[in-house]
Amino acid sequence: MKPMLDYDSSPNRFELLYGMLLDAIPSSVLLVDEKLHIVSVNRNFLVKSQRGEARTVGRPLAEVFPTIILENTDIERRIREVFRTGTSVKGQRMTYRAPGVPIRIYYYSILPIPTNQVMLLMEDVTEQVRLSEEVRRVERHLASVVESASDIVLSTDTEGRILTWNSAAEKLSGLSAQEVRGQYFFQFCDSNQQQTVRKVFMLMKSGNESHTTEFPLVTSNGDGILVSWVFSPMKDDYGQTVGAVVVGRDLAERRKLENQLRQSQKLAALGVMAGGIAHEIRNPLAVCYSAAEFLLMDNISTEFRNECSRKIQAGIQKASAIIENLLRFARPSPDTEMVQVDLNTVITETLDLITNQARVQQIRIQLELKMRPILVLGVSGLLQQVFMNIFLNAINAMPDGGVLTIAEEISEAEVAVHISDTGMGIEESDLDKIFDPFHTTSPIGKGTGLGLSICYSIVQQHLGSIHVQSSPGKGATLTVRLPLL
């Protein structure tokens, strides 16, 4: 067994400790004399250079280092300068390749030491440089992705001050990144939404959830572009929120398509109501026709003549009101700013359009609305289309007659409108698909499958929800929930 070395009693203990210390250093260390000969090297240098100690110690630098390195780094001149001035040289870069191994990158320093020698300290930074270049490559790639995106992509600090603003944001807003950098994001939002945006940034400071909303982006000329926004908190390495990433998509084309779909669905609904509408207009016209025939007679009293005139006037007013309601429903609903709407008025006006259709199909309408106005924020025409689609679906589900019930339920923050029918119900396999575009259980040619899909889209646009409950043979109940003002 090899005896343990007593460092305290060994005469060479300092040399041994010195050698062990040098070999433990993860950098290459060389001692060089004034003749530029290598006096000592540590194990790290011998391993990295793939040289033995005998072929290195006592040899001039020119034999150990390749000529191209000596010329490019001018290291011999620098060592002589350190000997002459006694001043260290720090932080110089050297690229070194030993035979048969990949290129290595070093940062070297030259330090004077009291033994009339200099220490050449070489730190291998190959991996750090490689990782740094990889990080820069990833950063350039991410920057390219953001700049190439057709959506608005921007970042802010935790207070909402804009840090970055991509090309799509510049194109849509007409504002350059330089113009908006450092400005609060809410300054470029619709005035009605600025408080909401501030609240979103406050929530992201302490939360991890993303937030979605829709509101106009104010452009350089003061116009508003409707944009769908997603706000996501940006975290650092310690999980702390350091800012936000905001992505916005221009909804102009999407809204245009949605309006076209809504309009086509309205025309389809008018086709369904055609029979009831014709009957509803025929009644007042028949009264007008009869009264006009009486007026052509000579032997009628003044009182009866006046009565006939009033009947004609009332019939024309009723037909005119029916036609006006139809025109209002059929008229395209452009995207307008949401305003205060009385939901009860929307429901009753919609029922006026389908009442006669229900009567023709022997369906009784049971209305259970609150006696006071129910105020929500919305677009009246779009909400009317929602209820029209649901009412017509309920009527179609009761071909042999039944009861259509419309009831309201008020909670602290929302109103729920329950529309129930006593029809055939919905199969369980169809319940999860009834709001899908083009899904229909109607015979070919009798349904587009867009009605409830459009309802779902409109209700979501109004920050509400729509749900269905049904069992085959027991009717169905659709519930529309909207936030109260």
Would you say 481 and 433 are in contact if contact means Cβ atoms under 8 Å apart? no
Candidate from 403-417, 454-468, 469-483 with smallest mean pLDDT: 454-468
Q: In this predicted model, what pLDDT tens digit does every residue of 426-447 receive, in sequence order?
A: 877 676 767 665 445 554 344 4
The rounded distance, in Å, linking the Cα atoms of 63 and 302 is 135
Cα 27 to Cα 21, 57, 383, distances in angstroms:
11, 17, 74
Classify domain 20-128 by CATH number: 3.30.450.20
The rounded distance, in Å, linking the Cα atoms of 437 and 455 is 11
Q: In this predicted model, what pLDDT tens digit does every residue of 52-109 receive, in sequence order?
A: 989 999 999 988 887 777 877 788 888 999 999 999 988 777 776 656 667 777 788 8
The rounded distance, in Å, linking the Cα atoms of 105 and 117 is 25
User: What dihedral angle (degrees, nearest 10) is formed by the CA atoms of 70, 73, 79, 81?
Assistant: 130
Q: In this predicted model, what pLDDT tens digit does every residue of 242-263 receive, in sequence order?
A: 999 999 988 876 666 666 666 5
The rounded distance, in Å, linking the Cα atoms of 311 and 125 is 100
Q: How far is CA 215 from the centre of its chain?
A: 13
Read off the tokens for 435: 């709001």
Nearest to 437 by CA among 461, 466, 457: 457
Q: In this predicted model, what pLDDT tens digit does every residue of 206-233 receive, in sequence order?
A: 778 888 888 889 898 888 888 889 999 9
**For residue 76, with 0-12 CB atoms within 10 Å meaning exposed, 13-18 middle and 19 or more buried, which class applies?**
middle
Average pLDDT over residues 308-333: 72
For tokens 């259980």, what's the residue? Answer: 441
Classify domain 255-483 by CATH number: 3.30.565.10
403: β partners: 364
Q: Is the pLDDT of residue 347 over 90?
A: yes
Nearest to 377 by CA among 247, 196, 256, 217: 196
pLDDT band at 182 (very low <50, low <70, confident <90, very high): very high
Claim: this prediction has a pTM higher than 0.85: no
Q: Is the pLDDT of residue 386 over 90?
A: no
pLDDT band at 7 (very low <50, low <70, confident <90, very high): very low
The arrangement of strands across the sheet holding 89-96 comes to 38-41, 28-32, 117-124, 104-113, 89-96
Average pLDDT over residues 115-140: 83
For tokens 């033995």, what's the residue? Answer: 52
pLDDT the model gives residue 397 = 86
Give me the long-range contacts of 235-241 (CB less than 8 A, separation at least 24). 241/158, 241/204, 241/205, 241/206
Binning the chain into helix, strand and coil, the percentages to the nearest 5 are 45, 25, 30
- Intrachain domains 20-128 and 149-250 with the same fold: yes
Would you say 434 and 468 are in contact if contact means Cβ atoms under 8 Å apart? yes
The rounded distance, in Å, linking the Cα atoms of 375 and 338 is 12
Share of the chain above pLDDT 70, in %: 82
Average pLDDT over residues 13-32: 78
Nearest to 197 by CA among 160, 245, 234: 160
Of 112 and 255, more confident: 112
No. of H helices and E strands in the chain? 15, 17
Domain ranges of the chain: 20-128, 149-250, 255-483
DSSP secondary structure of 413-469: SEEEEEEEE-SS---HHHHTTTTSTT---SPTTS--S-HHHHHHHHHHHTT-EEEEE
The rounded distance, in Å, linking the Cα atoms of 409 and 349 is 19
Q: Is the pLDDT of residue 351 over 50?
A: yes
> Position 344: which residue type?
N
Residues in the chain: 485
Would you say 422 and 415 are in contact if contact means Cβ atoms under 8 Å apart? no
Average pLDDT over residues 18-47: 86
Strand 117-124 vs strand 28-32: parallel, antiparallel, or unpaired?
Answer: antiparallel
Average pLDDT over residues 32-39: 93
pLDDT band at 180 (very low <50, low <70, confident <90, very high): very high
Read off the tokens for 63: 């034999």
- Which H/E stretch holds residue 471? none
Highest mean pLDDT among 271-275, 338-342, 476-480: 476-480
pLDDT the model gives residue 1 = 37
Measured CA angle at 380 (ends 377, 381), to 5 deg: 145
Per-position b or e across 141-178, b if 16+ CB within 10 A of its CB = eeeeebeeeebbbbbbbbebbbebbbbbbbebbebeee
The SS3 assignment for 412 reads: coil
Per-position b or e across 267-286, b if 16+ CB within 10 A of its CB = ebbeebbeebbeebbeebee
Cα 90 to Cα 83, 126, 477, distances in angstroms:
14, 18, 80
Options 3.40.50.800, 3.30.450.20, 2.60.15.10, 1.10.10.10; CATH of 149-250: 3.30.450.20
pLDDT band at 380 (very low <50, low <70, confident <90, very high): confident
pLDDT the model gives residue 388 = 85
* Mean pLDDT, rounded, of the chain: 81
Q: Where are the alpha helices (DSSP H) in 297-338?
A: 302-330
Per-position b or e across 409-436, b if 16+ CB within 10 A of its CB = eeeeeebbbbbbbbbbbbeeebeeebbe
Q: Is the pLDDT of residue 483 over 70?
A: yes
For tokens 């391993």, what's the residue? Answer: 47
